[in-house]
Amino acid sequence: MKRLSKIGNNLSTPVLKRQFNELHFTISAPHYDLATRVLSFGQDVKWKRFLIEALPPLKNPVCLDLACGTGDITFNLAKKFPQGRIEGIDITQPMLDIARRRNSYQHVTLVQKEMCPLDYPDRYADLISGGYALRNAPDLKHALAEIHRVLKPCGTAAFLDFSKPENKVLQNIEYWLLKMWGGFWGLLLHRDLRVHGYISASLKAYPSREQLQKILREMGFEILTCKRFFLGITQVMILQKSAGCPIEIRIPTKPF
């Protein structure tokens, strides 16, 4: 059995972070769906549903789902956009193997590719999504620059991820809660605390909510929707490539 101890848990450079993530998600793939459910107390499905329901009603969009994992968001995009072209990408082959077994949609393609750089031409996609993708990007600003490049003018980006508070005390509380809860399930499912316990480590270098919004605006995105869940630990953000574009965003009215 592969162990994260082979490379440690150093996320300090893009190369090391990519190596860690590839091995981590290779190890976690068999139990990943179970882990996301138990770590979120079953709320992960609702958060992803909110993301999908908040998207604009596009007729036949080209959609890219980054770090698609086992395909939750990818397949929800396929349901929402039956006339669209949906492509899920991930660096981890075991994750994609599970997603391919789950795939029942003719208009969905699943491909092993990097998040940054994105191997797509400029202005290729109408919609780019990601579940826990930005935090796991080897280089956040590089990933955002690539997303901006590949999106069409007025294109939409939608992301679900953990949310880091500005207050240092709250950051420490969030860090230790995630470290203990993630480590518990990493130990139970994989006999390795670092599997899922890594979430807290990945948040150390991740920007706070306010810092992330500032970075997004500097990179050329307008923030259309920002909804926090789970006492603010996670959030869904709906973005637009440039300001002033006419676009319909429907905020779900169902309780989440």
Whether residue 254 lies inside any domain: the answer is no
Q: What is the pLDDT of residues 46-62, one digit of tens each?
A: 999 999 999 999 999 99
Whether residue 112 lies inside any domain: the answer is yes
- 61 vs 129: CA distance, rounded Å: 12
134-153 core/surface letters (b: 16 or more CB in 10 A; e: else): bbbbbbbeebbbbbbbbbbe
User: In angstroms, what is the C-alpha Rg of the chain?
Assistant: 17
Whether residue 84 lies inside any domain: the answer is yes
Whether residue 221 lies inside any domain: the answer is yes
Beta bridge partners of residue 161, listed in sequence order: 235
Instruction: Tell me the two tokens of residue 57.
Output: 């009603």
Number of domains in the chain: 1
Q: Give the CATH number, domain containing residue 111.
A: 3.40.50.150
Whether residue 245 lies inside any domain: the answer is no
Give the pLDDT confidence score for residue 1 in this predicted structure: 42
Q: What is the pLDDT of residues 1-38, one digit of tens each?
A: 455 555 455 677 888 888 888 998 999 999 999 999 99
Q: What is the pLDDT of residues 64-82, one digit of tens each?
A: 999 999 999 999 999 999 9
The model carries a pTM of 0.91
Whether residue 185 lies inside any domain: the answer is no
Whether residue 159 lies inside any domain: the answer is yes
Q: Please report which residue ranges of 111-237 form alpha helices under DSSP H.
A: 140-150, 168-190, 194-204, 209-218
Whether residue 177 lies inside any domain: the answer is no
Residue 244 has pLDDT above 80, yes or no: no
Domain residue limits at 99: 7-164+207-240
Residue 191: which pLDDT band, with cuts at 50, 70 and 90?
confident
Give the pLDDT confidence score for residue 97 in this predicted structure: 98
Residue 215 has pLDDT above 50, yes or no: yes
